């Protein structure tokens, strides 16, 4: 009964928050899906500046990054949010993988340590999100348990989700696989790197939040 009351109050508060059109929008997903590339694209489109650095080596983003007061507009609608770019969530981190990418042992171990902390922080921040964009690499297997765990946790918290199938510019990308893995969610295929389908992404975002 207490839980029911708590959920009811949380929903009312969330609705009030939503009506202010000033929300915390999280970017979640596995490492190297393109969360920071998408964050940079959003910030470039609407603020004219980047948000974070990107790299081919996994776990480049190891701390929560926040860009406050990002306002986007579409067809007389305006949406203002705090954009929260999170470290990629993984179930394993091996410093030797970073060494294979060319780092020395000390740097690789430091990166691994920071990456583990980043995963823990990303999971802790799930409770603070109002809306989440789950960024998946469309060239990879969408059925990975990390993807399912992230989306399951968002659903359990009643947080609205838009799934982005990123890297559709690559030949191996398969929107269909992502769509069939998560049939109950809207999926938008984009290339954050080349800005492809960003108009559809923004439409999807307004449909989700607006």
Partner 1 sequence: MLTLQFIPYADMEDLGSARRVKKILDLVKENKIVLLEGRLKNEEEADLIAITMEEVGDKFKGIELAVINPDSKDKNFLRSFRDGIANALLGDRKGFTVIGPASIVKEIKKDPDKIQLFTDEKGTRSRKKKKKR
Q: What is the DSSP letter of 88?
A: P
Tell me the HSE value of 22 on the side-chain side, using a 13 A CA sphere.
4
| Rg, the chain, Cα only | 17
Q: Does 126 bind partner 1 (CB under 8 A)?
A: yes
Which of these, 59, 76, 66, lies nearest to 25 by C-alpha position? 66
Residue 144 binds partner 1 (CB under 8 A): yes
Shortest separation between residue 198's beta carbon and partner 1, angstroms: 30
Does 112 help bind partner 1 (rule: CB under 8 A)?
yes
Cβ-count burial 149-166 (b if 16+ within 10 Å, e if not): ebbebbeeeebbbbbbbb
**Binding flag, residue 148, partner 1 (CB under 8 A):** yes
**Binding pattern for the stretch 62-91 against partner 1, x by CB under 8 A and - elsewhere:** ---------------------------xxx
Q: Between 154 and 173, how does the x/- string for binding to partner 1 read (CB under 8 A)?
A: -xx-----------------
Of 99, 116, 195, 198, the residue at the interface with partner 1 (CB under 8 A) is: 116
Task: For residue 182, give every residue at least 6 positions away whose Cβ sits within 8 Å of its Cβ, in sequence order, or none.
Answer: 142, 151, 163
Contact pattern for partner 1 over residues 8 through 47, marking x by CB under 8 A: ----------------------------------------
CB 134 within 8 A of CB 88: no
What residue ranges bind partner 1 (CB under 8 A)? 89-95, 109, 112, 116-117, 119-120, 123-124, 126, 141, 143-146, 148-149, 152-153, 155-156, 180, 183
């Amino acid at each position: 009964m207490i839980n029911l009351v708590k959920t009811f109050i949380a929903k009312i508060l969330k609705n009030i928050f939503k009506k202010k059109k000033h929300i915390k929008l999280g970017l979640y997903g596995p490492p190297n899906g393109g969360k920071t590339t998408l964050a940079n694209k959003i910030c470039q489109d609407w603020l004219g500046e980047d948000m974070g650095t990107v790299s081919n080596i996994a776990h480049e983003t190891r701390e929560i990054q926040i860009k406050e007061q990002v306002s986007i507009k579409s067809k007389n609608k305006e949406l203002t949010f705090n954009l929260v770019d999170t470290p990629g969530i993984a179930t394993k981190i091996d410093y030797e993988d970073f060494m294979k990418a060319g780092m020395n042992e000390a740097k690789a171990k430091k990166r691994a340590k920071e990456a583990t902390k980043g995963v823990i922080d990303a999971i802790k921040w799930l409770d603070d999100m109002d809306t989440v964009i789950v960024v998946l690499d469309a060239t990879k297997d969408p059925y990975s348990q990390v993807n399912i765990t992230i989306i399951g946790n968002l659903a359990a918290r009643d947080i609205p989700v838009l799934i982005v199938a990123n890297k559709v510019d690559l030949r191996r990308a398969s929107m269909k696989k992502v769509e069939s893995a998560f049939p109950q969610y809207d999926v938008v295929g984009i290339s954050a790197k080349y800005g492809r389908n960003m108009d559809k992404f923004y439409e999807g975002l307004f449909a989700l939040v607006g």
